[in-house]
Structure 1
Amino acid sequence: MSSTTASPSAPSKHMRRVVGASVFGTALETYDLYLYGTAAALVFGPLFFPDSDPTAATLLSLSTFAVSFVARPLGAIVFGHFGDRLGRKQMLYFTYLIMGISTFLIGLLPTFDTIGVLAPILLVAMRFSQGFGFGGEYSGAVLMLTEHAPPAKRGFYAGLNNLGPVAGFVASSGLFLLMNTVLTEQAFMAWGWRVPFLVSILLVGAGLYVRTKVTESPVFKEQQAKAVTTKPGLPIAAVLRHHWKPLLIATGANISQFAVFYLFSVYTLTYGVDELGLTRSTVLWAVIIAILTNIIAIPYASALSDRIGRRKVLLTGFAITVVWAFPFFALFNTKNFGLILVAFIVLMISYSFVYGPVASFMSELFPTSVRFTGSAVAYNLAGILGAAFAPIIATLLMATYQSSSAISIFMIGITLISAVAVLLSRETRDLDLNHTDEPRATKGRP
């Protein structure tokens, strides 16, 4: 079954299996990532950088958080290369193992008080390993959904993969919150923070099993059959030489969603606790509740992109983000839990209108022969530009200007960059995934 011949009524059992494997796997991978982000904002500073003043310790801790994003493009190139040459499915096993083992080992790391400067070095090494694995994980999972889905529902199915990060964040933050609630401060800092990291190893086996139930992408198999007589080249070289424009567009389109989410999920923890004097539990609860709205908003936005186009939905999300940047902090600064929830939920709705359709939009920009490499490199370059340094920049802006307005302006600026990238692109909803060089419109689309 190829994307050009699949009907909108593709086998429901088959698609449920693909959706389950992709979403479940991505959920566990992002559990690892977000767990680190929460710990970097709340506990890694005093445990791994105790000789620094509080602000410096937070900055150093968030810098280790950024290391993952630096490693991701390298992982994207490596796994993208083999994903485009050997298949999408095989690479997802490797990325899963790398991330699961790295996260487990973080839970075993001795702190600065035990082994001195070696502690943060090992922490950085594990974070780098996490990023390397995730460099191929997300895009591979998205492609499995995109390339299995019927054309008329491609945006919807690709967007469903992005429910995985929602589940991963809620699970990691919820377990972190539970440990912080049931333990004393001393016990939590001594060993309680380790439990969520150690639990991740129990999930690795389940994730690997789920992924064995999914077949290789039909679009990839069709392309591979056509390419039997051609001399294979390096996918990354082909992307840089022939597909640099979609690479720039896909990268630019993703910058905003990365920055918004990591400002929301990581920096708000630091801001709420250090600047507003709120408790960790208060901010975490607000973040978790707001992120749960993505369970409805992401599928809705993804399905809407199948009806009216990817660009219109993406631009709507950017517009809401720009309008909400100042009210977000104004409501947050009231310290009223109800108003904080309103601020957080609206921001997450705007984020969903970008994060849902951008999965299919990004995949559709590249031909099958370099789709894994192109989409993975673009996604992870955007991670560096949008997410890796966003919490650090926000922390520095707050320290410099002593006002959240500077952070709002930063959020608006980076969102406008993504909006321009999408405006410079063409609509991708009706493209044929089996195109080899230039996309062509699919026929018979409802």
Structure 2
Amino acid sequence: MRNTPVPTSERPSSMRRVVAASVFGTALETYDLYLYGTAAALVFGPLFFPDSDPTAATLLSLSTFAVSFLARPLGALVFGHFGDRIGRKKMLYVTYLIMGVSTFLIGLLPTFNSIGVLAPVLLVGLRFAQGFGFGGEYSGAVLMLTEHAPAAKRGFYAGLNNIGPVIGFVSSSGLFLLMNSILTEADFLAWGWRIPFLVSILLVVIGLYVRTRVSESPVFEQAQTKAADAKPRVPIAEVLRNNPKQLLLATGANISQFAVFYLFSVYTLSYGVTELGLTRTTILWAVIIAILINLIAIPYASALSDRIGRRKVLTTGFVITIVWAFPFFALFNTGNFILTLVAFMVMMVGYSFVYGPIAAFMSEIFPTAVRFTGSAVAYNLAGILGAAFAPIIATMLMDTYHSSVSISLYIIAITLVSAICVLVGRETRDIDLTADNH
């Protein structure tokens, strides 16, 4: 049955405010995350693990990167619980503050040379806090868009949230690139790397103001009018009891996009420098230009999913990723900037066809009463399986086999897992968000 419109409001001006709040919030959160990923690949090794050899230092640094993903399911449980019980909007204020303050404090951290082993311990603690906050941030922002949007454009509006990470990545990488280009190597390692972390506090203030102008989700408010005993007291228990299949399929469907993006945006930085002898500036420029494609491809793929269905668009993205896994490294390994850019751009098209419609798919697969919890837990479990260890696994594969072929096979294998999960599940485009059960 075609989904019935929820009696929402959403006049164009109201919807624009929801889009602005969600996209800006997700942009800041991903600015924080990707900034850390860039720093972990390029500078945290010598600053926080100086006694290690270069490969070990990179692995240790990337391990701190993975800590965020281990913290995310905990954040998903906490913020999902309260998001389903007392509201989406309230939780988004809390997650926003946690992320922003943690990132700012990383910029103030003393290094190993100043305080010894306490430096990496504090770094790991703040990275954990980042992950804990993000565990509720992304899913809450997507839900606000999904539950405010007109039924026929749900995929498009939910997908718009996913241009936030593009903005966040380009901003963080661009600022990192700027500091790296205008400072000497010594100054950059001494203090220049801190600037991008410190300026995030200004974005927090703006983001909090933007979010005050958005109303609570109308779908959530409608659900609140039901009898109190219809609301789950412990949403995660309800998910595990009544929606285990949805949780499993939603988690699996997300693994590929996580792995592909973090291999692309984090691992390629260290691979390009250590294996190909390219400069950080060259690789960052290629990554930034390629990621800008998502600003067009994500909205297009999301809107297309409203017309032909989520599964068809997602499957197209998986096919592109699998087909391009070997050409990607073949072109990258030439060391030629233009060929590298082609490799990166095509990979980002495949990624966009997954990352755009996956936003609506994740929200639609769970009923309203547990939608925040279910989607947040699934998304963040996928982050552990797909992204947390992807740069580490790629580094270890390269160190063991001395060939990018092993990494291409890894990309293909993990993408097949996501494709199977989407194909096993049913189409979600026509689901009624207000129904008690899906």
**Is structure 2 residue 141 aligned with structure 1 residue 141?**
yes
Give, as a single letter, the amino acid of the residue that structure 2 aligns with 1:416.
L
1:77-109 per-residue CA deviation (whole Å, 9 max, x = no partner) reads: 000000000000000000000000000000000
In the TM superposition, what are the counterparts of 1:229-240 in structure 2 within 5 Å? 229-230=229-230, 232-240=232-240
**Is structure 2 residue 187 aligned with structure 1 residue 187?**
yes
The answer (yes or no) to whether the contact 2:314–2:358 under 8 Å persists in 1 is: yes
| Alignment partners' CA distance in 2, 1:339 and 1:231 | 55
Give, as a single letter, the amino acid of the residue that structure 2 aligns with 1:109.
L
Gapped runs of 5+ residues in structure 1?
Answer: 440-446
In the TM superposition, what are the counterparts of 1:12-411 in structure 2 within 5 Å? 12-230=12-230, 232-411=232-411
The answer (yes or no) to whether the contact 1:249–1:425 under 8 Å persists in 2 is: yes
Shift of 1:231: 6.0
Give, as a single letter, the amino acid of the residue that structure 2 aligns with 1:383.
G
| Alignment partners' CA distance in 2, 1:6 and 1:242 | 24
Shift of 1:230: 3.8
The answer (yes or no) to whether the contact 1:71–1:131 under 8 Å persists in 2 is: yes
1:214-250 per-residue CA deviation (whole Å, 9 max, x = no partner) reads: 0000000000111335464200000011101000000
Number of residue equivalences: 436
The answer (yes or no) to whether the contact 1:394–1:407 under 8 Å persists in 2 is: yes
Give, as a single letter, the amino acid of the residue that structure 2 aligns with 1:274.
T
1:184-210 per-residue CA deviation (whole Å, 9 max, x = no partner) reads: 000000000000000011111100000
3-state secondary structure, aligned to 1:426: coil
| Alignment partners' CA distance in 1, 2:207 and 2:153 | 25
| Alignment partners' CA distance in 2, 1:303 and 1:228 | 36
| Alignment partners' CA distance in 2, 1:369 and 1:231 | 6
Paired residue for 1:442?
none
1:336-364 per-residue CA deviation (whole Å, 9 max, x = no partner) reads: 11000000000000000000000000110
The answer (yes or no) to whether the contact 1:48–1:120 under 8 Å persists in 2 is: yes
Moved more, 245-254 or 221-230: 221-230
Shift of 1:7: 8.2
Shift of 1:10: 4.6
Q: 1:286 to 1:251 in 2, by over 3 A?
A: same
Q: 1:12 to 1:193 in 2, by over 3 A?
A: same
The answer (yes or no) to whether the contact 1:7–1:151 under 8 Å persists in 2 is: no
3-state secondary structure, aligned to 2:199: helix
| Alignment partners' CA distance in 1, 2:214 and 2:8 | 20
| Alignment partners' CA distance in 1, 2:106 and 2:220 | 36
3-state secondary structure, aligned to 1:28: helix
Paired residue for 1:419?
419
Shift of 1:435: 1.2
The answer (yes or no) to whether the contact 1:220–1:368 under 8 Å persists in 2 is: yes
Q: 1:6 to 1:81 in 2, by over 3 A?
A: closer
1:99-153 per-residue CA deviation (whole Å, 9 max, x = no partner) reads: 0000000000000000000000000000000000000000000000000001100
1:140-194 per-residue CA deviation (whole Å, 9 max, x = no partner) reads: 0000000000110000000000000000000000000000000000000000000
| Alignment partners' CA distance in 1, 2:282 and 2:275 | 14
Shift of 1:5: 3.2
The answer (yes or no) to whether the contact 2:112–2:119 under 8 Å persists in 1 is: yes
Gapped runs of 5+ residues in structure 2?
Answer: none
| Alignment partners' CA distance in 2, 1:112 and 1:92 | 34
Give, as a single letter, the amino acid of the residue that structure 1 aligns with 2:83.
G
| Alignment partners' CA distance in 2, 1:347 and 1:142 | 24
TM-score (norm. length: structure 2):
0.98
The answer (yes or no) to whether the contact 2:8–2:218 under 8 Å persists in 1 is: no
The answer (yes or no) to whether the contact 2:232–2:238 under 8 Å persists in 1 is: no
TM-score (norm. length: structure 1):
0.96
The answer (yes or no) to whether the contact 1:8–1:151 under 8 Å persists in 2 is: no
| Alignment partners' CA distance in 2, 1:341 and 1:295 | 17
Shift of 1:4: 3.4
Q: 1:160 to 1:329 in 2, by over 3 A?
A: same
Give, as a single letter, the amino acid of the residue that structure 1 aligns with 2:119.
A
1:233-276 per-residue CA deviation (whole Å, 9 max, x = no partner) reads: 20000001110100000000000000000000000000001100
| Alignment partners' CA distance in 1, 2:343 and 2:232 | 51
The answer (yes or no) to whether the contact 1:38–1:266 under 8 Å persists in 2 is: yes
Shift of 1:11: 1.4
Question: Where does structure 1 differ by over 4 angstroms across 4 or more consecutive aligned residues?
Answer: 6-10
| Alignment partners' CA distance in 1, 2:241 and 2:172 | 40
| Alignment partners' CA distance in 2, 1:185 and 1:356 | 38
| Alignment partners' CA distance in 2, 1:180 and 1:395 | 24
The answer (yes or no) to whether the contact 2:6–2:219 under 8 Å persists in 1 is: no
3-state secondary structure, aligned to 1:161: helix
